[in-house]
């Protein structure tokens, strides 16, 4: 029983740490586009638009 | 103000901008902070790609005036105004508003035509001209 509790606690800690790490990474990454008509878009990681712009930006940062 | 002077002021003004390139309306490189011409051209190519990709996000075909991508390894900014485009890279976690302001200031500096200096005529010169 004690082993099981320890395992559950460890699993919960691992999930919490993973989510914290993921959230931090997501907060750091974003893309924004403004247009001539005054409108703008904010793209979050995981969307197709963001991944497209991020690929171009990564290549620019490597160059 | 010429491009080299505007870019020099930009790098003095902004500690966050690492590399920058200015493009003409047709996409050709007008100047850059990079010594290597090929590297400047590659950065310009990335700027053109980013504008094209950002434009494709909308079907209305409105012109993209600003595109910025912030990643964990750094950020890439592209601004377009008055037919000119400026692109710049920064390190991670830049102050996006400040960088965009500095880049816009650089573009405005380029747009400012040098004012013609007035020639001051002295009274003596006027009298000589009258004679």
User: ipTM for the complex?
Assistant: 0.79
Predicted model pTM: 0.77
Contact between A63 and B39 using a beta-carbon 8 Å cutoff:
yes
| Best residue in A23, A24, A32, A33 for a mutation probing chain B (most B CBs within 10 Å) | A33
Q: In the predicted model, what is the mean pLDDT of residues A4-23? A: 88
Which residues, listed in sequence order, are joined to residue B80 by a DSSP beta bridge? B85
Q: What is the pLDDT of residues B102-119, one digit of tens each?
A: 999 999 988 665 444 454
How many angstroms separate the CA of residue B42 from the nearest CA in chain A? 7
Nearest CB to A56; choose among B50, B64, B75: B50
pLDDT, residue B110, reads 83
Q: In the predicted model, what is the mean pLDDT of residues B70-89? A: 95
**Which of B100, B85, B75, B115 is CA-nearest to residue B10?**
B100
Q: In the predicted model, what is the mean pLDDT of residues B69-78? A: 96
**Which of B114, B50, B120 is CA-nearest to residue B85?**
B50
State how far Cα B122 lies from the chain centre.
41
User: Between the CA atoms of B91, B93, B98 and B104, what dihedral angle is there, to the nearest 10 degrees?
Assistant: 50
How many angstroms separate the CA of residue A59 from the nearest CA in chain B? 7
Q: Which helix (H) or strand (E) holds B127?
A: helix B123-130
Q: Report how far residue B82's alpha carbon sits from residue B106's, in angstroms, rounded to the nearest whole number.
A: 12
Question: In the numeric block, which tokens belong to residue B108?
Answer: 């405005």
Phi and psi at residue A49, in whole multiples of 5°? Answer: -60, -45
Locus of tokens 């700027």: B47
Whether B125 shows a pLDDT value over 60: the answer reads no
The SS3 call for residue A37 is coil
Which residues, listed in sequence order, are joined to residue B66 by a DSSP beta bridge? A34, B79
Q: Measure Cα distances from B28 to B21, B24, B60, B70 in Å.
A: 10, 5, 26, 25
Burial class (CB in 10 A: 0-12, 13-18, 19+), B85: buried
How many residues are given for chain B? 131
Q: What is the pLDDT of residues B24-39, one digit of tens each?
A: 999 899 999 999 999 9
Q: Is A27 on the interface with B (CB under 8 A)?
A: no
């Amino acid at each position: 029983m004690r082993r099981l509790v320890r395992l559950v606690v460890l699993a919960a800690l691992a999930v919490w740490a993973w989510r914290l790490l993921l959230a931090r990474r997501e907060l750091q990454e974003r893309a924004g586009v403004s247009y001539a008509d005054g409108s703008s878009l904010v793209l979050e990681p995981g969307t197709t638009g963001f991944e497209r712009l991020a690929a171009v930006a990564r290549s620019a940062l490597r160059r | 103000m010429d491009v080299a002077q505007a870019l020099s002021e930009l790098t003095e003004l902004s500690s966050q901008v690492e590399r920058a390139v200015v493009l003409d309306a047709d996409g050709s490189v007008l100047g850059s902070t990079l010594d290597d011409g090929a590297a400047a051209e590659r950065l310009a190519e990335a700027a053109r790609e980013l504008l094209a990709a950002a434009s494709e996000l909308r079907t209305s075909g409105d012109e993209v005036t600003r595109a910025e991508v912030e990643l964990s390894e750094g950020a890439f900014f592209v601004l377009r105004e008055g037919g000119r485009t400026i692109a710049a890279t920064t390190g991670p976690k830049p102050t996006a508003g400040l960088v965009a302001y500095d880049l816009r200031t650089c573009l405005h500096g380029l747009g400012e035509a040098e004012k013609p200096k007035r020639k001051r005529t002295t009274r003596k010169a006027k009298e000589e001209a009258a004679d």
